Amino acid sequence: MLFPTFTFVVFFLIVWPLNWVLMRNRERWRIFMMAASYVFYAAWDWRFALLLAGSTVINQGFAVAMSRTTQQKRRTALLAATVVVNLGILAYFKYWNFFVDSGQTVLGNLGFEVPSLLVDTVLPVGISFFTFMALSYVIDIYRGDYKPTTISKFAVFLSFFPHLVAGPIVRPAELVPQFDPPPDPRYVDTTRAFALIAGGLFKKVVIATALARFVDPVFGAPDQYSSLVVLVAVYAYAIQIYADFSGYTDMAIGIALLLGFRLPQNFNRPYASSSLREFWRRWHMTLSRWLRDYLYIPLGGNRKGRLRTYINIMLTMLLGGLWHGASWTFVVWGALNGLGLVVDHWWVSRREARGGKEPAASGPRRWGMIFLTFNFVCLAWVFFREDTISGAVQLLGHLFTAWDKPSPQISVGVLLAIAALLLTQFSPPRIGEQLRGVFSQISPIAQGAVLGVTLMLTNLLGPYGVAPFIYFQF
């Protein structure tokens, strides 16, 4: 079920009070929260719940077995088996058809006839997210950074409905310790929770959904529009995916707060970044940290020379691109980001070798770097959005061939949505904190009135119907 729907509101209004009623009895609470999370997940397809349960049992079994042996070879073998099982399940559902189709195309071009091995599978919602969370649990135990918890705690950790289908990607050390002792409802930051939920709803329902209705037809048939419309659509998609994904995670973090739990931040004004490295420290932060800690550093990180560092960056971003979806467009998107990060690292090392300094926090040079970084990110987003490489190339080529066409599709609303979200990227964080401070000081009745007006405006300004969240397909 989607967060901004009446069905979820009813679900949460049942779960929220029961969560606090059962909180003192931790075992009952865990059973209840696991059951609620499975109901939430099974709303898409009950078979997905069986897959989630299987992942829970398998990974807990490997974790316990690993903790009970001191033989390094056996521990390594158990870790390898865990990785193979998890990635095997993920590959079957997400990548089998992609690899088979690619292989058949290559063999067909070489003159070989290969029978079709494509499988008609339904991609389980959020499988990439809970697979990465399960892997972090087992890998942390292998490294000695974490000890196995009980099966009930691990089941709640993996299935906790606020983060289940689209993150944030939570580490066990970030969430499991919060299960004991029970949180105190008197210290729940409801002001921040309601602000996150209301802001996330507005970003998703008003901004992302409205921009989707402008972006989708342009990306679907760019040759029918002017170059200016295509250019605005490229920028609009960058804003749409940010509003869509950050809106979801804002709601997820706010909902978890109302239940008494804190999830890690996932976005920090990424479009204000002055380099691609800074962008990836601000965008989908929990995925960036996961790729760094469980892929880039184990590959060697920057410890084995400059060339090996560049190779490790490219491998990490290529696999990060493939994690997002089974398509060559995601591979190209990952390659572009990897290449950009390599150039970024090379440029910084070159500057440091010459004794240069970082650009000042403000000034023309920094603004120029922000402009270049944002436009590079938008260029890469084209491949992320398009279904085929040829479609992405066609759209980018159309940026140069139809400037004489009229552009009636560009509305004031579209431009305002783009401008408003970009402005929020450059507003000082203290402004939001000050506003929340003022909000927390007013009476509960006034708070309810402000939230009611915000929800009413969201409903009024938002188009009829809510488009699916972009990251649900990953």
- Whether 409 contacts 214, CB under 8 Å: yes
**CB of 167 within 8 A of CB of 266?**
yes
Tell which phi-psi region holds residue 465, choosing left (phi > 0), alpha (psi between -120 and 50) or beta. left
Q: How far apart are CA 315 and CA 321, in angstroms?
A: 10
Question: Omega before 168 cis (within 30°)?
Answer: yes
Q: What is the pLDDT of residue 448?
A: 64
Question: pTM (2 decimals)?
Answer: 0.89
pLDDT at 115: 66
Q: Residue 356 has what pLDDT?
A: 67
Tally of CA atoms within 13 A in the half-sphere of 42 that contains its CB: 11
Q: How far apart are CA 291 and CA 295, in angstroms?
A: 5
The dihedrals phi and psi of 393, each to the nearest 5 degrees, come to -65, -40
283: nearest Cα among 345, 329, 238, 332: 238
pLDDT of residue 466: 58
Report yes or no: 218 and 233 within 8 Å, Cβ to Cβ: yes
324 is catalytic: yes
Which DSSP symbol is given to 305?
-
Q: Are 154 and 56 contacting, i.e. CB atoms less than 8 angstroms apart? A: yes
Q: Which of 163, 284, 324, 398 is catalytic?
A: 324
- Both tokens of 378, joined, read 């938008």
pLDDT, tens digit only, all 474 positions of the chain: 677 777 888 899 899 999 999 988 889 999 999 999 999 999 888 888 999 999 999 999 999 999 998 899 999 999 999 999 999 998 888 877 677 666 766 666 677 666 666 666 777 888 889 999 999 999 999 998 999 999 999 999 999 999 998 879 999 999 999 988 778 787 888 888 888 888 888 888 888 888 999 999 999 999 999 999 999 999 999 999 999 999 999 999 999 999 999 999 999 999 999 999 999 999 999 999 999 999 999 998 888 888 999 999 999 999 999 888 878 899 999 999 999 999 998 888 887 777 766 666 667 888 899 999 999 999 999 999 998 999 999 999 999 988 888 888 899 989 999 999 999 898 877 776 777 677 667 766 676 676 667 666 665 665 555 566 666 655
Please give the radius of gyration of the chain, using alpha carbons only, rounded to the nearest integer. Answer: 23
Tokens coding 150:
């009980």
Q: Which of 125, 191, 195 is nearest to 159 (CA)?
A: 125
- Report domain extents, the chain: 6-98+117-182, 190-274+359-473
What's the distance, Cα to Cα, between the start and end of the chain in Å? 16
**Cα–Cα dist 209/215, whole Å:** 10
C-alpha 23/C-alpha 361 separation (Å) is 46
The tokens of 397 are what?
């080529």
- Tell me the backbone φ, ψ of residue 22, rounded to 5 degrees: -90, -5
Residue 447 is predicted with a pLDDT of 66
Rounded Cα–Cα distance for residues 345 and 308 (Å): 12
Q: What share of the chain is helix, strand, coil (3-state, %, to 5)?
A: 75, 0, 25
- pLDDT at residue 316 in the model: 95
- What pLDDT, on a 0 to 100 scale, did the predictor assign at position 314? 95
